[in-house]
Structure 1
């Protein structure tokens, strides 16, 4: 069972109070292929399950913000083989809660086979500088496949969580690994293999983003 509030939600509370929309919108027009995958207008593979499609980013809040639309959607851009190669179940993939307002975050979560660890991903359009204003005090600078990033063993008070945050052309990708209730009595380290997991996520983002 996935628990807790996404990093994106916490960031939005800290940055500003914003009205938001979570109503799913139609995905980009696409042509289905033989493996349940579509090629979108951006020529990137997208999972076709309607429950996983991102919400529309076109509303009065996004239009007034002047911020770019979020491109990388973690729920539909990360393939099954990629997520399973780092120890999480593709079939556990769950959307949301997406936030589409003055700031936009597209969110996805995954569980591992024993439901002892959860992986969360928030792809947003706050700037790297805005992210550092909130999280810079506990993040250690690093790079993931050459991409500027930071990592830390949880925000203050989050002892069962480890984070990697990466810069994108339109904002940030916030990644967390959280020890679930079933894993707490096993003394699991949420930071174990986190750089390997972050590397797989980064490759899904794509160098063009």
Structure 2
């Protein structure tokens, strides 16, 4: 079930950001190269399987340790089983909330904040019936995405509220937006 959710999330935000490939330096109008750190460097020390402490996992109804998700090289992830929801934490070094919003795969994309950071709650077209919700927020020169999927089919869980709850716990543990 978690693997299906990761696939839906990858479809939702796959692709290059507007600045090209991660690690590319962008030039200004005069042709000069910027000296900003590539997003991969800013987020290099962030491990999705270590964004939450054991006590944060337990208090959120998640079981640790997490299991590395099968994702793309610029999009590392970690899966957690839990009750009432399973969860995937993703680190994306090619997207920001602004660039993710431009994707045409969203059935729902609503701007919000996570502890003061630019964020969004989003559901992909393919996930509207699967009870999967994503919350993403800017970190470094990329984003962190929390995907919650209801473990059962009781309709008693607000997946977006659960993802936002976890996002608020993760946010202090990742770099500020660059």
Shift of 1:87: 1.7
- Preserved CA contact (<8 Å) 2:12 2:106: no
Mapped contact 1:98–1:106 kept (Cα < 8 A): yes
Deviation at 1:188?
Answer: 3.3
The alpha carbon displacement at 1:171 in A equals 0.6
- Measured against aligned partners, the alpha-carbon deviations of 1:135-191 in whole angstroms (never above 9, x if no partner) come to 677211111111110013x212312111101111221111110123xx01x223223
Residues 193, 68 of structure 1: alpha-carbon distance in 2 compared, 3 angstrom cutoff: closer
4+ long deviations beyond 3 Å? 206-209
The residue number in structure 2 matching 1:167 is 138
How many residues in Structure 1 have an aligned counterpart in Structure 2? 153
| Correspondence 1:36-55 to 2 at 5 A | none
SS of the equivalent of 1:90 reads coil
Alpha carbon RMSD of aligned pairs, Å?
2.7
Q: Is the 8 A contact 1:8 1:174 kept in 2?
A: no
1:106 and 1:81 map into 2 onto residues whose CA distance is: 23
User: Given the alignment of the two structures, is residue 94 of structure 1 paired with residue 64 of structure 2, yes or no?
Assistant: no
Q: Which has the higher contact order (CA 8 A, sep 6+)?
A: 2
Residues 1:77 and 1:192: Cα distance change in structure 2 (over 3 Å): closer
- Secondary structure of the residue that 2:119 maps to in structure 1? strand
Residue in 2 that maps onto 1:35: none
Question: Which residue in the other structure is 2:34 paired with?
Answer: none
Measured in 1, the distance between the counterparts of 2:69 and 2:92 equals 13
1:80-100 CA distances to partner (integer Å, 9 max, x unpaired)? 112222221123x11021321
Of 50, 56, 76, the residue aligned with 1:106 is 76
Q: Is this contact kept in 1: 2:136–2:146, CA < 8 A?
A: yes
Change (3 A) 1:156 1:5: same
Q: Distance in 2 between matches of 1:204 and 1:87?
A: 19
Q: Is the 8 A contact 1:82 1:200 kept in 2?
A: yes
Is 1:84–2:58 an aligned residue pair?
Answer: yes
Counterpart in the other structure of 2:10: 8
Q: TM-score, normalised by structure 1?
A: 0.62
In 2, the alpha carbon distance for the partners of 1:199 and 1:147 equals 10
Q: CA 1:137–1:10 in structure 2 vs 1: closer, same or farther (change >3 Å)?
A: closer
2:93 paired residue number: 125
Is residue 89–residue 110 contact of structure 1 (8 Å, CA) maintained in 2? yes
Q: Which residue of 2 aligns with 1:56?
A: none
CA contact (8 A) 2:61 2:85 kept: no
